[in-house]
């Protein structure tokens, strides 16, 4: 009877040792080359996120033959804007008039909704008479 109890204890110790050894191996414990046990966590490397490159906005090309200088202009809160024959221009760097890109035109029309009488308040353009090619442009109304 004593032998059966001892066998059961030995069997229980053996099973618990195997279970402990298995849990140690599963938990990340590893045996170093020098014989020591060390903890090395399991590292799961995920692939890097995909790189998104936004497409470049389309280049704005000034319509041909549209180099004009407005006779009157107004400040819309961001820049000076003028109109020549239905084409909108803004005063750019170097004090030259450039064709308004769509985003500038949209912003100006938003301002224009709150200022419907802006033509009456416009400033006579005697100062900024240079077009986008650097050429002086006379007034259209010929009242220089």
Name the domain count of the chain.
2
Residue 10 confidence (pLDDT) above 80: no
Specify whether 70 is located in the same domain as 33. no
pTM of the entire predicted model = 0.51
| 130 within domain boundaries | yes
Question: What pLDDT, in 10s, does the model give residues 83-117?
Answer: 888 889 998 888 888 889 999 999 999 999 999 88
6 found inside a domain: no
Q: DSSP string of 13-60?
A: HHHHHHHHHHHHHHTTEEE-TTS-EEE-----PPPPPPPP-PPPPPPP
* Residue 31: domain span: 13-42
| CB contact at 8 A, 102 and 113 | no
Shared-domain flag, residues 76 and 127: yes
Facing residues of 31 across strands?
A: 37
Task: Write the pLDDT tens digit of every residue in 26-64.
Answer: 556 667 778 777 766 667 788 888 888 888 776 655 555
Residue 71 belongs to a domain: yes
| Interval 127-132 mean pLDDT | 78
Claim to verify: residue 83 and residue 139 sit in the same structural domain: yes
């Amino acid at each position: 009877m004593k032998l059966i109890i001892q066998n059961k204890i030995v069997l229980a110790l053996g099973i618990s040792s195997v279970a402990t050894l298995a849990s140690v191996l599963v938990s990340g414990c590893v045996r170093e080359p020098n014989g020591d046990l060390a903890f090395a966590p399991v590292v799961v490397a995920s692939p890097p996120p995909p790189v998104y490159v936004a497409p470049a906005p389309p280049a704005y090309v000034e319509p041909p033959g549209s180099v004009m200088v407005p006779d009157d202009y107004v400040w819309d809160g961001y820049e000076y804007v003028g109109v020549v024959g239905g084409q909108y221009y803004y005063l750019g760097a170097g004090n030259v008039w450039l064709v308004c890109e769509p985003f500038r035109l949209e912003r100006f029309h938003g301002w224009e909704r709150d200022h419907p009488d802006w033509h009456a308040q416009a400033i006579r353009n005697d100062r900024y008479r240079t077009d986008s090619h650097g050429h002086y442009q006379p007034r259209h109304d010929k009242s220089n």
